[in-house]
């Protein structure tokens, strides 16, 4: 879903990436900034317990994540090293984004969500290592997980009681995505 929107977002990202490239900012530096912002998000949310601060920091970290790839493409520095760094740190960030939800929901369910959220990109990486295109496959990819997390934090800020149902929906859709990716790989492999 978000994969399609990513193409449209380039209209916003490209001018910013061009400006950053001109002043010498490197894609890996932006990737590290995104990681630092996710660590700050984690700490601030645990200390303040204010979901609104979390939304702001999550948005900034996610914006950095969207921007680093564009800077790499524009500067001609896109490569395996940067891609490895980016995807590895994305997993760390995903863990940092979801873990503070234990402040609001049952820890075992948050742990389940963190685990599933790490399995989804693993299945994509494994599929692509087998030559099966998995980007855009599955109902909830990283972008959707970040949006779900933001929605939950916003709802928590306003103290809506139905936030728990949005959280359950998040878990359910994540499980569906794991199943979809398993089916994708298994149906594309020889018997």
pLDDT tens figures, 147-187:
999 999 999 999 888 999 999 999 999 999 999 999 999 99
Task: Answer yes or no: 65 catalytic.
Answer: no
Residue tagged active-site, from 65, 86, 90, 94: 90
Report residue 3's pLDDT band, with 50, 70 and 90 as the boundaries: low
Please tell me the pTM assigned to this model. Answer: 0.90
The DSSP string of 60-91 is HHHHHHHHHHHHHHHHT---HHHHHHHHHHHH
113-151 burial, b for 16+ CB within 10 Å, e for fewer? bbebbebbbebbeebeeeebebeebbebbbbbbbbbbbb
pLDDT tens figures, 31-58:
999 999 999 999 999 999 999 999 999 9
Average pLDDT, rounded, for the chain? 92
């Amino acid at each position: 879903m978000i994969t399609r929107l990513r193409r449209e977002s380039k209209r916003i990202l490209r001018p910013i990436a061009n400006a950053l490239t001109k002043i010498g900012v490197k894609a890996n530096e932006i990737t590290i900034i995104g990681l630092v912002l996710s660590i700050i998000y984690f700490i601030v949310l645990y200390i303040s317990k204010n979901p609104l601060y979390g939304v702001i920091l999550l948005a900034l970290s996610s914006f950095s994540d969207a921007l680093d790839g564009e800077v790499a493409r524009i500067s001609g520095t896109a490569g395996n090293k940067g891609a490895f760094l980016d995807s590895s740190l994305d997993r760390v960030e995903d863990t940092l984004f979801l873990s503070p939800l234990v402040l609001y929901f049952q820890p075992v369910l948050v742990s389940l969500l963190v685990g599933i959220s790490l399995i989804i990109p693993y299945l994509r990486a494994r599929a692509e290592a087998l030559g099966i295109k998995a980007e855009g496959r599955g109902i909830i990819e990283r972008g959707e997980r970040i949006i779900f997390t933001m929605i939950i934090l916003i709802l928590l800020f306003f103290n809506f009681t139905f936030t728990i149902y949005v959280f359950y929906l998040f878990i359910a859709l994540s499980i569906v995505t794991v199943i979809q990716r398993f089916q994708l790989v298994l149906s594309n492999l020889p018997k």
